[in-house]
Structure 1
Amino acid sequence: MLIELLSQKLKTQKAINAYVCCLHGAMIDESGNSADLKILRFIREVVGDATPIALSLDLHANISQDFLELATVISGYKTNPHIDLSETGRRVVRLLAKTIEGEIQPIMSLAKCPTIFPDQTLNTSEGVFAEILNRHLEKIDDSIIDVSVFPCQPWLDSKGIGFGALCISDNDPISANALSSAIVDAVWQHREDFKISNLASPLQAIDIAENSNIRPFIIAESSDAPTAGASGDSPIMIEAFVSSNSDLKTFIPITDKPAVAKCFELKLKDEVSLTLGCTIDQRWTRPVSLKVRIDYLGDGDYELAGAGYSGLKATMGRFAVVSFRSLKILISELPCWSADPATWRHAQLDAFDAELLIVRSCSDFKANFPNSGNSALYLDVLGAASNLFSELPYKNCAQGTWPIDRVIN
């Protein structure tokens, strides 16, 4: 479908001397191959070998040499959490313009190592990842035009996944090769240092939140983060809150289309018995049943307001806000951006007013809740986006991919 739409657009364009392509880089098709590469290859076939193509990618892209053979220049996000989307777009266009005008002769060099890491360890502002980048980018050759790193989306069960460093030089392949290789070598040498330290079980996390003076205290259920490919329908934190004695003002999001439909059959302030969770993904936990009060019913598009995606149109479909003790549950038909304060405002809730905020996010919340991000806990639970890699059923990754090679069939 996407290829067909592209075909219609590309074949009707005339007198265009270059193209800018904005892709994520971690999309795979049903056969496990790179869908981004398929799109890029199609564009190249249509426009011909002589037409320059600039490509922007997410930091989590699974890049390969094939990308370099199809694109003229490639640059990725420099930040994680991602707060430089617009800046990356402008950078790619500048590189393309300078190439067309003959100001630069871009030569790209890609180095990779077979490693994947939890996204929580890939903060570009602090920690081992930031230290490696800063050390290698402090002093670089004047011929180096741009440096991008691609740690890869770790839940891609696809051949060739791994950490990549891409350097663009102005006609200096030796310097580009040296820098990309040095970054990758350092990452490989420090691979054991990419560890999450702030893990907790659901009940442990609630207990720690009770004794903290940070508000809102954030618990990140990153294993069920929709932005990482999960469904957002795990009720494990709802179950934990119900079984606890907590009276913290708590907000929890969950995707559950049938529960929303049931709420919409009733009216505000009605009480209803709901069975929540696992309507999309039943592999990791079980649904939870409880009686709640309907506080709000809503629908419609809204604009995100977080540091990285401000202004982006979003929707979670129809949604209901229901109450159980001091808990507010945001139930939506579609997975929501729970790390963005605008999502909660759209549901008539102020995330900064919560004492305990559950987000289904790996890292975006750190940019949007800077006073809470460093104290946040990550749940030590399974899910489609779990960082317990040894518990996930990888099948297609190359033998030797660290640290999952021991579980590959």
Structure 2
Amino acid sequence: MKIFIAGLATETNTFSPMPTGRIGFEEGLIAHGDATQSAPNGFGAPMHVWRERAEARGWDVVESLAAFAQPAGPTVKSVYEGFVEEILTDLKASLPVDIILLTMHGAMVAEHIDDCEGDLMRRCRDIVGSDAKIGLEIDPHCHLTSLMLEAADVIVAYKEYPHIDISDRAHDLFALIADAAEGKINPVMRAYDCRMIEMFFTPGEPMRSLVDKMMDAEGKNGVLSLSFAHGFPWGDTADTTSKMLAITDGDPTLADRVAREFGEELWDLRHQIKNSFPTIDEALDRVSTLREGKPVVLGDFADNAGGGAPGDSTFVLKAVLERKLKDVALGMFWDPIVIRQCQEAGEGAVLRLRIGGKMGTASGDPVDLTVKVHAIKSGLSQKFGDLDMPMGTAAILEADGVYLLVNDHRSQLFDPQAFEQLGLDLSKMKIIVVKSSNHFYDRFAPIACEVIHMKTPGAITPDFTTIPYTKRDSNYWPKVENPFDQSGKKAG
């Protein structure tokens, strides 16, 4: 057997003011056939799993491009086409191949293509024909399109949000695609459109039980795999929605039924799942009532760089300063200009700096503060699960008991390590404000007396009824109470 592996991924916020170009990928990862020779990096982690599993079987492995960028706006056409051409050229040079495995996001949009995943797989399929098996691992915040389902033999999405199971799902995909290539199974995929746009946090109920039920059903009664595609609300495409995906062994009727059953169960839980986040002021009011001895962790939902936001909004910072709160840590602010100023001045310096608010109206206004540079270091990273995620150069700045984590490599905040490696003791904080939607939860919840996701202003609003779609129609819940009415489906 010969297996061809590659990766091309970014999550596209089509409303973001920041184009995704070559520099964005260079800051993330670009590896020309040697990504598995370095430590796993985000979307590159599945390629490590696939190489290890294939080589353990004595199979030949051909590794092509691995290119990954932080979420932002649509990928520049020339950048996308250049990456795709490299992958396709490597594939043609490797023929014949038995298996193609791709790690992508599922919500990548280029200037000229809304479905980059489907496009790349279709172009791979045109080269290898129908005999080779194509497998795709994707983020659940994806647009699961008909082209993706037609071009692939097996698609597996991460099941957890936060995404702590990337490598686990890579093992699942390899096992399925290997069995398919060896003729042991005949995977058939069917998807059910849940017609919902929401954020589905899997650590808590009712999502926890639903995900566990999905995992328990796999490998039984002809069901090979189940994935829930949450959808990515801030990608304006015709396919922006949540879908349940079922893969069965040669039985399309069963796949249809199982996908529908799980999808309808999710629909019936919609009012329990629907998130109702407090505003900034409501969250800070609640903090004042808590006396647990541990810090309260507040999620700045709408300024999550992992959803394509700039990561430099000042709305929460302003509220903290107006209330004259102390022992508050906030981060990460993406502000390369401030980092440059701190590098010039050095640790211990006291400076008048203009913080954040640089990327547009969704970032709010800049805040002028006199700060002390407590620490500044370069070449930093933070943990996301078992993966090291780059932070670049970062600094801890203090303004009268308010501590800001600022850096020059745009990323959401995943781990307390981001603060602590710069010498800030989070146990002494009363409030920790994290610029992230939910990936912070896995590492911050254990150190918090309570975690509160806030309905903050910014580039990725959690109000899904007001997103200004132009390609996605308005027939989805919660914008419409029952989007199934037109087809005769009654509300659960």
Instruction: Give TM-score scaled by structure 1 length.
Output: 0.89
**Partner secondary structure for residue 38 of structure 1:** helix
Alignment of 1:281-360 (within 5 A): 281-283=360-362, 285-302=364-381, 304-306=382-384, 308=385, 310-312=386-388, 314-360=389-435
> Distance between the aligned counterparts of 2:448 and 2:342, measured in 1?
33
> Distance between the aligned counterparts of 1:341 and 1:261, measured in 2?
24
RMSD value over aligned CA atoms?
2.4
Paired position in structure 2 for 1:127: 205
* Deviation readout 1:195-238 (Å, 9 max, x if unpaired): 224x3333442343243215231000011111112111101122
2:121 aligned residue (40, 44, 54):
40
Paired position in structure 1 for 2:73: none
**Partner secondary structure for residue 389 of structure 1:** coil
> Distance between the aligned counterparts of 2:236 and 2:224, measured in 1?
32
> Distance between the aligned counterparts of 1:366 and 1:183, measured in 2?
26
CA distance 1:139–1:148, change in 2 (3 Å): closer
| Deviation of 1:353 (Å) | 4.9
CA distance 1:342–1:36, change in 2 (3 Å): farther
> Distance between the aligned counterparts of 1:33 and 1:188, measured in 2?
27
Structure 1: stretches of 5+ with no match in the other structure: none
CA distance 1:174–1:99, change in 2 (3 Å): same
Higher mean alpha-carbon deviation, 323-332 vs 245-254, is at 245-254
Higher mean alpha-carbon deviation, 378-387 vs 322-331, is at 378-387
| Deviation of 1:95 (Å) | 0.4
Paired position in structure 2 for 1:115: 196
Q: Please say if residues 203 and 244 of structure 1, whose CA atoms lie closer than 8 Å, have aligned partners that are also in contact.
A: no
Higher mean alpha-carbon deviation, 326-335 vs 206-215, is at 206-215
Structure 1 letter corresponding to 2:204:
E
CA distance 1:359–1:84, change in 2 (3 Å): same
> Distance between the aligned counterparts of 1:373 and 1:170, measured in 2?
45
- Does residue 362 (structure 1) correspond to residue 414 (structure 2)? The answer is no
- Does residue 386 (structure 1) correspond to residue 448 (structure 2)? The answer is no
CA distance 1:7–1:134, change in 2 (3 Å): closer
Alignment of 1:90-239 (within 5 A): 90-117=171-198, 119=199, 122-134=200-212, 142-197=221-276, 199-212=277-290, 213=292, 215-239=294-318
Percent identical: 23
Higher mean alpha-carbon deviation, 374-383 vs 254-263, is at 374-383
CA distance 1:381–1:311, change in 2 (3 Å): closer
Higher mean alpha-carbon deviation, 31-40 vs 367-376, is at 367-376
Number of equivalent positions: 398
1:398 aligned residue (446, 456, 473):
473
Q: Please say if residues 356 and 363 of structure 2, whose CA atoms lie closer than 8 Å, have aligned partners that are also in contact.
A: no
- Does residue 10 (structure 1) correspond to residue 91 (structure 2)? The answer is yes
Structure 1 letter corresponding to 2:316:
M
2:133 aligned residue (31, 37, 52):
52
**Partner secondary structure for residue 123 of structure 1:** coil
CA distance 1:126–1:318, change in 2 (3 Å): closer
Paired position in structure 1 for 2:42: none
- Does residue 269 (structure 1) correspond to residue 352 (structure 2)? The answer is no
Higher mean alpha-carbon deviation, 386-395 vs 69-78, is at 386-395
- Does residue 79 (structure 1) correspond to residue 160 (structure 2)? The answer is yes
- Does residue 376 (structure 1) correspond to residue 451 (structure 2)? The answer is yes
> Distance between the aligned counterparts of 1:94 and 1:282, measured in 2?
47
Structure 2: stretches of 5+ with no match in the other structure: 1-81, 482-492
> Distance between the aligned counterparts of 1:36 and 1:373, measured in 2?
38
> Distance between the aligned counterparts of 1:159 and 1:272, measured in 2?
48
- Does residue 252 (structure 1) correspond to residue 328 (structure 2)? The answer is no
Structure 1 letter corresponding to 2:408:
E
Structure 1 letter corresponding to 2:162:
P
Q: Please say if residues 366 and 374 of structure 1, whose CA atoms lie closer than 8 Å, have aligned partners that are also in contact.
A: no
**Partner secondary structure for residue 317 of structure 1:** strand
> Distance between the aligned counterparts of 1:156 and 1:49, measured in 2?
31
